[in-house]
Amino acid sequence: MVNIYQRTKNMELSYIRTVVEKARELEKQGRSIVHLQIGEPDFTTPEPIIEAAVEALRSGQTHYGPDEGIEELRQLVAGQIKSRKGLNFDPLENIIITAGASEAVFDAIVGLSGPGQGVIILEPAFSNYYNCCLCAGSKPLYVPLALEDKCRPDFNSLGKIVNESPDKPAFLVLNNPHNPTGALFGPGAIKQLADFALQYDLVVIADEIYENIHYGDENPLSIASVPGMEERTVLVGGFSKTYAMTGWRLGYAAAPEPLYEPIQKIHQYAVTCAATFSQLGAAGGLQKSEEDVRRMVNELDRRRRYVMDRLDQIKGMTYIRPEGAFYFFINIAASGLDCMDFSRRLLEEQGVAVIPGSTFGPSGKGFIRVSYANSLAELEKGMDRLTAFWQNLC
């Protein structure tokens, strides 16, 4: 038989799904499980968005839409980019509505990178980046973040990789605010990364899906807004996290020419268009949902503070102080267990589902990712059980 699986044979199925399935299996057996593995808010999508989508469905909007998305939504996205980042993206020439930010990541990496090219990924990282490079035939180049130093990019390692890697680094993937650590790269780090990209002629794929979920007064600086960067940055964004719309499968890629067309091609041949009624829901309801967004972010902040307070009381456990997204990245090395065993036993013995840090890259070894996108009542239960588990071990 011909070798039909060259690109996928080194890929592993997502371990997050494995945890979800294991947790479900235990629940089926009657066990009480606290879900702290999840990467989605537990809130319901804001009512104006739901109403607009229902209206679209009832009025027969059940057909294909334009490949790159309906004009109203592309205009809204361009408007958000303009007001948030000061960039002039043309709605019809630079913005593609995708089936989730996941598709935008896929389209960008597969559309733009290829064999012989390296894609720098600051790890630990959302595992799609690595695997999309395998799909593209490009080489994922992991560069560790300095987890012990507030999760800063390590410019020594970055310099080394551009000078020494046999696969010429041509891309840098940057996710800010950051999954899985909850870190937020401040303007200083962003400008330094921009200088680095300019110096080494890198195209940046900036995944800013969590841009509205941060807990300081200042909005995170987009790398695309740094002078000289707009023409070499693909912005990836979406609605899943900000508007609690994970199931709607809606996101976007925004890119200048000549980066736009390769992304458009992959989008066309992979999905044709994002679901029409999802787009109409977003287009009709996003602007009326800003109050809901504020409410959700405030609630996430309340939960973040609660979990921080609880973790601070656990002796020997340390964590990266989260400033964005909705995750804690917790160092569990003092337990003596590796993170896979720790997570497995925490689920089996205490019924708490978390993600082992090594799922996100080699630097994540010795960590677990805990999501606080669950209710305060569940978080309280989860923290009680995590504390008991830790006290048994240490």
Tell me which residues touch ligand PLP (CB under 6 A). 39, 100-102, 105, 126, 175, 179, 207, 209, 238, 240, 246, 251
Identity of the residue, 101 or 311, whose beta carbon is nearer to ligand PLP in the bound complex: 101
Rounded CA gap, 203 and 231, in Å?
Answer: 9
Identity of the residue, 94 or 175, whose beta carbon is nearer to ligand PLP in the bound complex: 175
Which residues pair with residue 204 across a beta bridge? 172, 233
Cβ 219 to ligand PLP shortest distance, Å: 17
Cβ 123 to ligand PLP shortest distance, Å: 12
Cβ 197 to ligand PLP shortest distance, Å: 19
Q: What is the DSSP string of 25-90?
A: HHHHTT---EE----S-SSPPPHHHHHHHHHHHHTT--S---TT--HHHHHHHHHHHHHHH-----
Identity of the residue, 317 or 320, whose beta carbon is nearer to ligand PLP in the bound complex: 320
- Residue facing ligand PLP at closest CB distance: 100
Query: Quick one: tokens of 79?
Result: 């408007």
Residue 15 CB partners (closer than 8 Å, separation 6+): 127, 355, 356, 359
Cβ 250 to ligand PLP shortest distance, Å: 7
Of residues 213, 246, 235, the one with CA closest to residue 325: 213
Identity of the residue, 87 or 325, whose beta carbon is nearer to ligand PLP in the bound complex: 325
Instruction: Indicate the helix (H) or strand (E) that contains 204.
Output: strand 203-207
CA angle (66, 67, 72) in 5-degree steps:
50
Rounded CA gap, 289 and 48, in Å?
Answer: 7
282 in Cβ contact with 250 (< 8 Å): yes
Cβ 39 to ligand PLP shortest distance, Å: 4
Rounded CA gap, 259 and 236, in Å?
Answer: 13
Cβ 225 to ligand PLP shortest distance, Å: 19
Identity of the residue, 126 or 389, whose beta carbon is nearer to ligand PLP in the bound complex: 126
Cβ 345 to ligand PLP shortest distance, Å: 25
Rounded CA gap, 364 and 145, in Å?
Answer: 10
Identity of the residue, 48 or 177, whose beta carbon is nearer to ligand PLP in the bound complex: 177
Identity of the residue, 39 or 262, whose beta carbon is nearer to ligand PLP in the bound complex: 39
